[in-house]
Amino acid sequence: MAYDFDRIIDRRGTDSCKWDSDPRTIEGADYPLEDGLLPMWIADMDFEVAPEIKEALVHRAEHGVYGYTLVPDSCYEAIISWMERRHGWRVKKDWMRFVPGAVMAGHMVIQAFCHPGDKVIIQTPVYYPFYRMIFNNGARISRCPLTLKGDRYEIDFEEFERCAADPRASFFILCSPHNPVGRVWTREELTRLGEICRRNHVHVLSDELHCDIIMPGHKHIPFASVNEENSAGSITAIAPSKTFNLAGLQATVIITPDPELRRRLDNVLESNSVSRPNLFAITAMEAAYSRCEKWVDEMNAYVSGNYEYLKKAMAQRLPKVRVMPLEGTYLAWLDFRAMEPDGKKLQQRMLTKAKIWLDEGWLFGPEGSGFERVVLACPRRYVEDAVDRFAEAFAAASL
């Protein structure tokens, strides 16, 4: 490997959300907590970014003038070329809009397309800010739970059809790849979802933030690339934030091929005065998409190695914990229900006995209760440490 993903970088004292947040703010933890929690909760990486990104930022910073900025053609070209090379989707410059975040993009999409009381379909358990995107903007949640068949999460298409057929259903937020269950949706699944949405006049926001973090044997397919109809009925969010560890720079791209959907989205962007991008975000994004392909390939291989380690070590040390298959994202999804079926008690054990700070499964919806999400974008040593902590905390329960 050309890059050293094993390197431990001390992030404490850098105002890192992951490492410097006050554990007293943890939802549901109303008991005293000791220091020394291992943080594997929020989805960012403990790896240094690719050297090309750091160089580009340092070079830009040295200029010393940081005024309002434009998106240069070279940045558009970097994104277009990346999407075509890596995902086989040819996007056009005038389809793209730059916004500070994917969650913000989701909020604006709901504002642009939903009337008060409209229903927005989500596939639970799912990335929890989706709930807020919907109800903070006056819409209602239409829950279409994924079904767990053996170890695999699948879409219940009959239930999805029922949700979409509701006359108040106007939007569907797809999480692709899916956070937290780690599915990479197949072409057949995306085609069928698109067909049901089209028939029922439901538009789609496809959140593809994790699209570049794909495990061996799987292939991400952009929802909009599947066919003309999917393209015309959808808005896609991509970003370098997960792929290249740039979340703190706040750079998201919304891609809307359909001119009418774009016009409606532009109205909302304008009314929120979202127009000019962050200078450093643009600098980093261009370097990332144009010069860091090898880094992404190695990062994916490293994360895959972390997952394989976790799976094997858990099978040996805590065989009752199911490590769900990981197709995409760097988020492992662990089923602890055989050890502790009560989600709140499980959280307490994680925080007070294992001393690991994770995103609790119930945050993603009731279907997630008894599961834990573990961020694997970190040096292997942290994963080894996590397994030791799990084993110690559950030693008696596993007998």
Ligand X SMILES: Cc1ncc(COP(=O)(O)O)c(C=O)c1O
Least CB distance to ligand X at residue 239 (A): 6
Assess 253 for contact with ligand X (CB under 6 A).
Answer: no
Assess 247 for contact with ligand X (CB under 6 A).
Answer: yes
Phi, psi of 109 (to 5 degrees): -65, -45
Least CB distance to ligand X at residue 331 (A): 8
Least CB distance to ligand X at residue 119 (A): 20
Q: Which residue in the shown chain puts its C-beta closest to ligand X?
A: 101
Cβ atoms of 288 and 240 closer than 8 Å? yes
Which stretch in 100-108, 117-125, 134-142, 370-378 sits in contact with ligand X by CB under 6 A?
Answer: 100-108
Least CB distance to ligand X at residue 388 (A): 26
Least CB distance to ligand X at residue 183 (A): 12
Least CB distance to ligand X at residue 186 (A): 18
Q: In the numeric block, which tokens belong to residue 244? A: 């290249």
Closest CA to 357 of 18, 30, 12, 4: 18
Beta carbon nearer to ligand X, 340 or 367? 367
Rounded to the nearest 5 percent, the helix, strand and coil shares of the chain are 45, 15, 40
Cβ atoms of 123 and 148 closer than 8 Å? no
Beta carbon nearer to ligand X, 41 or 82? 41
Assess 127 for contact with ligand X (CB under 6 A).
Answer: yes
Q: Is 44 helix (H, G, I), strand (E, B) or coil?
A: coil
Sign of the C-alpha dihedral computed for residues 344, 350, 352 and 355 taken in this order: negative
Least CB distance to ligand X at residue 340 (A): 25
Contacts of 203 (CB under 8 A, 6+ apart): 113, 170, 171, 172, 197, 233, 234, 235, 261
Beta strands in 52-162 (DSSP E): 96-99, 119-122, 140-143, 147-149, 152-154
Closest CA to 79 of 68, 89, 66, 65: 89
169 DSSP β-pair partners: 119
Assess 390 for contact with ligand X (CB under 6 A).
Answer: no
Burial environment of residue 380 by CB neighbours within 10 A (0 to 12, 13 to 18, 19 or more): middle
Residue 260 to residue 251: CA distance in whole angstroms: 24
Assess 123 for contact with ligand X (CB under 6 A).
Answer: no
Residue 326 to residue 322: CA distance in whole angstroms: 12
Assess 300 for contact with ligand X (CB under 6 A).
Answer: no
Beta carbon nearer to ligand X, 43 or 296? 43
Beta carbon nearer to ligand X, 164 or 377? 377
Least CB distance to ligand X at residue 236 (A): 12
Which stretch in 20-28, 99-107, 164-172, 197-205 sits in contact with ligand X by CB under 6 A?
Answer: 99-107
Which stretch in 95-103, 149-157, 253-261, 280-288 sits in contact with ligand X by CB under 6 A?
Answer: 95-103
Cβ atoms of 280 and 60 closer than 8 Å? yes
Considering only CA atoms, give the Rg of the chain: 21
Assess 142 for contact with ligand X (CB under 6 A).
Answer: no
Which stretch in 88-96, 97-105, 260-268, 384-392 sits in contact with ligand X by CB under 6 A?
Answer: 97-105
Which of 23, 51, 101, 305 is in the footprint of ligand X by CB under 6 A? 101
Assess 102 for contact with ligand X (CB under 6 A).
Answer: yes
Residue 184 to residue 178: CA distance in whole angstroms: 7
Strands 371-375 and 331-335: antiparallel
Q: Binding to ligand X (CB under 6 A): which residues in 166-225?
A: 175, 179, 207, 209
Assess 239 for contact with ligand X (CB under 6 A).
Answer: yes
Q: Binding to ligand X (CB under 6 A): which residues in 5-64?
A: 43
Q: Count the residues of the shown chain that bind ligand X, applying the rule CB under 6 A.
A: 13
Which stretch in 30-38, 101-109, 151-159, 317-325 sits in contact with ligand X by CB under 6 A?
Answer: 101-109
Q: In the numeric block, which tokens belong to residue 237? A: 């969010």
Which of 142, 241, 245, 347 is in the footprint of ligand X by CB under 6 A? 241
Least CB distance to ligand X at residue 28 (A): 19
Q: Which residues bind ligand X (CB under 6 A)?
A: 43, 101-103, 127, 175, 179, 207, 209, 239, 241, 247, 252
